[in-house]
Structure 1
């Protein structure tokens, strides 16, 4: 009974404090922007097209990306390619510090190295 009451009290306290978090957190990250979501979505679509293409033909082929619609300011580049592997990089004009890497393992966000002048 005491453990159940303690758990309920902890839950109520954590829920009431969670409402305060947005007031104390930093402004929305660039990774939470519409541009970031659109870039990530394009990368996920490319991943699924590449995997479906391999299932249909037996090997990877970038032809499946020929009609991929990209949001404004988003581009992709072929980094590496082979019969059983590929690496694509999706980047957004408004998000210069990050890119989404697409491989047969899926889509991953990566921080790009900063270039110092």
Structure 2
């Protein structure tokens, strides 16, 4: 960064802001890491980078592999005497199970199972 000879205070402030921005950017990169893991028989999570099984109560699971049901609605279809009909479906994706190989995101110090991988 070029020094501003006419305003040493401004130059110092610019250096401090630049250093803090670099520190924040470096911390953000360290706080989110993708990892692989596997689900053990007791539903604990064992990841490649953390060699101790994490109990089910201590990690998070995304909705699509957590067994949470969600409703899909909208759209219409013809073929009814009373006019076009509409419909809804409740989808319940499969839950993770022992033996599954999973993609894990580390958010700071918390593990989040994102999806099942093969």
Q: Bin the TM-score by the shorter chain.
A: under 0.3
- With a CA cutoff of 8 Å and minimum separation of 6, indicate the structure with the bigger relative contact order: 2
Structure number with the higher helix fraction is 1
TM, length-normalised to structure 2 = 0.27
Structure number with the higher strand fraction is 2
